[in-house]
């Protein structure tokens, strides 16, 4: 590629009331370009070359700030394209949890449950942004203070998320946070991927590997039911490369509940990576590493033709897939799950790395 050094630039993306919203463009000499908004920490687009060197945007997103704001409104088909999720990624049953003997209620916005921090989570905030540069890459540090009682969650939380793109086409997302009182915290990024290019059709032919021997079966409202169960002999076994669509329409009660895949996989310790997806048509490969214990694989079951993306094309059902690295759903109500409690003096820290490459 012609660019010899990693680059970062800023441009005005729109206005939210009296606040300017900016888009930051991170470019790697390896051919990857990532566009991140300070609104919601959204990864709006990610251009990556195919096996022939031809770039395409491989994440789903909207073309304008108005589109993102409209999609966050009550009654919309809220999809969280590319957004930072908090305070609590995934679902909390009935919007209720008990911490240190105190019952807390958070907004219900997904049937009877709270999803992704409620109707006004971290994805609807304008974050403070700082550009970063070093010899091997460029980055963007985003900072946000969530006050005590924000969406019903206790404690003031100071959150910091850093996106970094290096010369090897690795996009790392590092999360850090502290709290001034006990609380629960579970953050992630909600990018949807289509390695053939956003708006190019569904992702059923993408091959997927998940290094996970167990997953969380769910009840009718997508809350984990019982202990994690083995994937052996089920449509949830992705330990070997398997097309996303190979078993998605099968007569499995769990697939019927979710309309496809929308479950937490318990990642195997010591695996070489958490997940890997491959589009055979373009040759693009996405590999994911994470410090988190789980990944929510969502197969875009409720994407519709009404969702028109950055390229001007409708997305449609299964038009992208999400790999949300995180702690498990409903952990505040499950003492047997890895804890999401954050106390004063502790530092919430996690990192996920996405690497784009190609294969023949």
Instruction: Compute the half-sphere exposure of residue 236: CA atoms within 13 Å on the CB side of its CA.
Output: 30
- For residue 255, is pLDDT > 90? yes
Question: Can you tell me the distance from the alpha carbon of 45 to that of 171, in angstroms, rounded to the nearest whole number?
Answer: 12
% of the chain beyond a pLDDT of 70: 99
Q: Which member of 116, 125, 160, 190 is catalytic?
A: 190
Q: How far is CA 219 from CA 106, 118, 236, 256, 258, in A?
A: 20, 20, 16, 11, 10
324 is catalytic: yes
- Phi, psi angles (nearest 5°) of residue 11: -145, 155
Question: Can you tell me the distance from the alpha carbon of 230 to that of 233, in angstroms, rounded to the nearest whole number?
Answer: 9
Q: What is the mean pLDDT of residues 283-290?
A: 98
Q: What is the mean pLDDT of residues 144-173?
A: 97
* The pLDDT of residue 2: 44
- For residue 357, is pLDDT > 70? yes
More confident residue, 30 or 146: 146
Cβ proximity of 234 and 247 under 8 Å: no
Cβ proximity of 290 and 297 under 8 Å: no
Region label for 257, one of left (φ > 0), alpha (ψ between -120 and 50) or beta (otherwise): alpha
Please state which of the ranges 2-16, 201-215, 225-239, 338-352 shows the lowest mean pLDDT: 2-16
Q: What is the mean pLDDT of residues 225-248?
A: 98
Structure tokens at 15: 């206005």
351 is catalytic: no
Would you call 150 exposed, middle or buried from its count of C-beta atoms within 10 A (0-12, 13-18, 19+)? buried
Q: What is the mean pLDDT of the chain?
A: 97
Question: Can you tell me the distance from the alpha carbon of 69 to that of 40, in angstroms, rounded to the nearest whole number?
Answer: 10
pLDDT digits (tens, 9 = 90+) for 315-356: 999 999 999 999 999 999 999 999 999 999 999 999 999 999
Peptide bond into 87 cis (omega under 30): yes
State the pLDDT confidence band at 233, using cuts at 50, 70 and 90.
very high
pTM listed for this prediction: 0.97
Nearest to 40 by CA among 60, 65, 58, 63: 65
Q: What angle do CA 186, 203, 218 make, to 5 degrees?
A: 45
Give the 3-state DSSP-derived string for 195-224, with helices as H, strands as E and coil as C.
CCCCCCCCCCCCEEEECEEEECCECCCCCE
- Which residue do the tokens 């969650």 mark? 153
- Which residue do the tokens 């409690």 mark? 341
Question: Can you tell me the distance from the alpha carbon of 32 to that of 163, in angstroms, rounded to the nearest whole number?
Answer: 14
Question: Can you tell me the distance from the alpha carbon of 67 to that of 309, in angstroms, rounded to the nearest whole number?
Answer: 9
* The pLDDT of residue 1: 38
Structure tokens at 360: 């023949």
Cβ proximity of 8 and 26 under 8 Å: yes
Q: What is the mean pLDDT of residues 190-219?
A: 98
pLDDT digits (tens, 9 = 90+) for 36-95: 999 999 999 999 999 999 999 999 999 999 999 999 998 888 999 999 999 999 999 999
- For residue 284, is pLDDT > 80? yes
One-character DSSP codes across 160-189:
EEEEEEETTSEEEEEEEEEESS-EE-B-EE
- For residue 244, is pLDDT > 60? yes
CATH architecture of the domain with range 7-358: Distorted Sandwich (2.70)
Each domain of the chain, given as residue ranges in start order, spans: 7-358
Question: Can you tell me the distance from the alpha carbon of 336 to that of 338, in angstroms, rounded to the nearest whole number?
Answer: 7
Question: Can you tell me the distance from the alpha carbon of 42 to that of 124, in angstroms, rounded to the nearest whole number?
Answer: 10
Question: Can you tell me the distance from the alpha carbon of 222 to that of 307, in angstroms, rounded to the nearest whole number?
Answer: 23
* The pLDDT of residue 166: 96
Q: Which member of 160, 198, 292, 324 is catalytic?
A: 324
* The pLDDT of residue 74: 82
């Amino acid at each position: 590629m012609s660019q010899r050094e990693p680059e970062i630039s800023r441009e005005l993306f729109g206005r939210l009331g009296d606040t300017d919203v900016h888009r930051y463009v991170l470019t790697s000499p390896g051919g990857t370009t990532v566009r991140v908004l300070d609104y919601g920490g959204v990864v709006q687009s990610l251009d990556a070359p195919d096996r022939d060197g031809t770039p395409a945007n491989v994440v789903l997103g909207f073309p304008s700030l108005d589109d993102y704001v409209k999609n966050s409104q009550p009654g919309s088909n809220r999809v969280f394209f590319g957004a930072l999720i908090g305070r609590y990624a995934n679902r909390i049953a009935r919007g209720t949890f008990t911490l240190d003997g105190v019952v807390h209620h958070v907004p219900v916005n997904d049937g009877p449950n709270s999803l992704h921090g409620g109707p006004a989570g971290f994805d609807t905030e304008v974050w403070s942004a700082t550009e970063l540069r070093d010899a091997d890459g460029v980055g963007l540090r985003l900072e946000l203070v969530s006050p005590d009682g924000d969406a019903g969650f206790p404690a003031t939380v100071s959150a910091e998320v850093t996106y970094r793109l290096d010369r090897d086409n690795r996009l790392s997302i590092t999360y850090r946070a502290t709290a001034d009182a006990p609380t629960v915290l579970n953050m992630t990024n909600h990018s949807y991927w289509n390695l053939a290019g956003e708006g190019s059709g569904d992702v059923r032919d993408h091959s997927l590997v998940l290094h996970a021997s167990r997953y969380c079966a769910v009840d009718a409202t997508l809350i984990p039911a019982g202990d994690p169960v083995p994937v052996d002999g089920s449509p949830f076994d992705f330990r070997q490369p398997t097309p996303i669509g190979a078993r998605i329409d099968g007569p499995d009660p769990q697939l019927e509940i979710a309309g496809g895949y929308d479950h937490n996989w318990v990642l195997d310790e010591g695996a070489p990576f958490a997940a890997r997806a491959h589009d055979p048509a373009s040759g693009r490969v996405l590999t994911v590493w994470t410090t988190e214990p789980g990944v929510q694989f969502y197969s875009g079951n409720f994407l519709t033709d009404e969702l028109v993306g950055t390229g001007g094309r409708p997305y449609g059902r299964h038009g992208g897939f999400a790999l949300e690295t995180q702690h498990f759903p409903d952990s505040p109500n499950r003492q047997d799950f890895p804890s999401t409690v954050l106390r004063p003096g502790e530092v919430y820290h996690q990192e996920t790395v996405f690497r784009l490459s190609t294969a023949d």
